[in-house]
Structure 1
Amino acid sequence: MHASRRAFASLLSVLLLALVGLSCSKPPAGGRALRLATTTSLKDAGLLDELLPAFEAKTGYRVEARALGSGKALRALRDGEADVAITHAPALEEAAVAAGEVGRRSPFMHNEFVLVGPLDQVGVVAGAGDIVEAMRRIVSSGRSFVSRGDDSGTNQHEMALWKAAGIATNGAFLVRANAGMGETLERASDEGAFTLSDRATFRAKQGDLKLVIVYQGDPALRNTYAVIEPKAGAAANAEGARAFAEFLRSEEGRARIGAFGVKATGEPLFTPGAR
């Protein structure tokens, strides 16, 4: 009887030690999922598939990602439907921070927007002095321009360019897709139209499109991404949001961002920011 008790006690000790070992080997994760609202371009380009598994393995968090336009992603964070957001609409982000709707804003990488269109229409914008002139030439040519029309960061940047060009956006030339970047590119390709895209999504999808880059390189086309944390006191996983923001700006996160796309396209599709 005593031998049986001693054997049971020994077995129990082994099990407890094993459980302690497992708990020590797995990074703490706050006991809950991390809800991420992100711009669609990161999903369409494939960067999320590179970053999220690495973050989950490092921290133990389980990320539930929803791909939305930047405006919708910020509203999801503000309304408590997300714990953290990645967006690329600086003016909107700064306004949300100033209004106390969200917490810390941390830019962590950038690429550029590119103007794309049919190969046989390259001449429409050839020789344009800047992106504003290129946009004016598209309208003068009578060709269609497919706009995302979804309140995304890309859509807002496009609207700012039309305003700078002095062109009203209620004309027949503008076709609103009300879709993410991938779908908008596909529609422009099918309809032989122009559109504005982030470089990463276009390069990732280029093989399936009848489109080429017709204008690029203007400083006005810089595309900055930021990670946005929830406001203080929000019913959100603030600890997880901070861990995610720190990962994106860490040495590992920056290395993964900088290397993304090189193997598939021969060039990095994003540039990590300085720490």
Structure 2
Amino acid sequence: MEYRRREVLGASAAGIATAVAGCIGSGEDDGEGSIAGEELALATTTSTEATGLLTEINEAFRERYGVRVAANAEGTGASIRSARDGNADVILVHARSREDEFMQEGYGVNRRDLMFNDFVVVGPSDDPAGISDVEGAAAAFDAIASDEATFVSRGDESGTHTKELVIWNEAGVEPGGEWYQSLGSGMGETLTNANESGAYTLADRGTYLSRDDLDLEILVEGPIEDGPELLANPYGIMAVNPEIHPNVNYQLAMSYIGFFTSPEGQKIIEEFTANGEQLFYPEALSEDPDFQQYVPEGWQPDSSDD
């Protein structure tokens, strides 16, 4: 489902300056500058929705500012396409190479590291390909391919699918054949399919831990449990550039980013659990936060005042 294109809002320089400075009225303030009663268009990954984190953070944002978040959770690739088309105000995704490309092409502004978890390789407890006995994710994928054990792929250009393709490349394997099933589905559906067919799959730890109906086991750990950095899973959040799409609500997007990366928002991330397990780890308030700003290609500082 695509967002409807918003009417041109004509975000003024004053409005943008207000958002950047963080001088946004609360939901109780109906005066000038208030964002109460507005609606934010968020494009995001299925993992943030499937775990329930998105519901919790969006409800807290609504209570604080009186703003409804219209979230479209469809995976990183689709989310970035929506944002490129101007059909989202802000995106929350987890494929750094695609995020960097989005920023470098000028579609995004004010990217922040938000949180992280990691990826894990899960499969049936009898582990027919013996991947729990090998070293690293690439070796595990190679063992699955060599054994032609069933592997279920999201196949949807999501952040998880992007990471999966990186691992196959590291393994020197081009997956295909009857043993490799590409679904074109979200993480929840992929885990259900793998569970029902006794297959292996790559999953983000958060979505896996949020499920209590799976017989699948973690057979290859990510870096949270001292596994390889190849399985790291960082999430980034960024506003859509209003210079390219004047219809987007940049002021509202910056309010959301500010809330999500604030001590209050980061505490919600840290304390969010499912089945007694922490699913995500806040990163915006780290000692060295990664803030990325859009700079037009070829831009040089004005030297007229020197």
| Same fold? TM cut 0.5 | yes
In 1, the alpha carbon distance for the partners of 2:228 and 2:269 equals 23
In 1, the alpha carbon distance for the partners of 2:72 and 2:139 equals 36
Alignment of 1:216-231 (within 5 A): 216=221, 217-231=227-241
Contact 1:150 1:179 in 2 (8 A): yes
2:219 is aligned, of 214, 223, 230, to 214
What is the aligned partner in structure 1 of residue 24 from structure 2? Answer: none
More helix by share: 1
TM-score by length of 1: 0.87
1:40 is aligned, of 46, 68, 71, to 46
What is the aligned partner in structure 1 of residue 18 from structure 2? Answer: none
Instruction: Pick which of 121-130 and 149-158 moved more.
Output: 121-130
What is the aligned partner in structure 2 of residue 244 from structure 1? Answer: 256
In 1, the alpha carbon distance for the partners of 2:116 and 2:101 equals 20
In 2, the alpha carbon distance for the partners of 1:34 and 1:56 equals 10
- Corresponding letter in the other structure for 2:103: V
Larger Rg: 1
Contact 1:122 1:214 in 2 (8 A): no
In 2, the alpha carbon distance for the partners of 1:170 and 1:119 equals 24
In 2, the alpha carbon distance for the partners of 1:104 and 1:30 equals 23
**Cα pair distance change 1:122/1:107, threshold 3 Å:** farther
1:185 maps to 2:191: yes
Q: CA deviation at 1:31?
A: 4.9
In structure 1, the gaps of 5 or more residues are 1-21
2:173 is aligned, of 167, 171, 189, to 167
C-alpha RMSD over aligned residues: 1.8
**Cα pair distance change 1:189/1:238, threshold 3 Å:** same
Q: CA deviation at 1:123?
A: 6.6
In 2, the alpha carbon distance for the partners of 1:23 and 1:182 equals 37
Contact 1:118 1:192 in 2 (8 A): yes
Structure 2 SS opposite 1:167: coil
- Corresponding letter in the other structure for 2:116: H
In structure 2, the gaps of 5 or more residues are 1-26, 222-226, 286-306
Instruction: Pick which of 171-180 and 38-47 moved more.
Output: 171-180
Contact 2:156 2:186 in 1 (8 A): yes
1:204 maps to 2:210: yes
Q: Percent identity?
A: 38
- Corresponding letter in the other structure for 1:249: T
TM-score by length of 2: 0.78
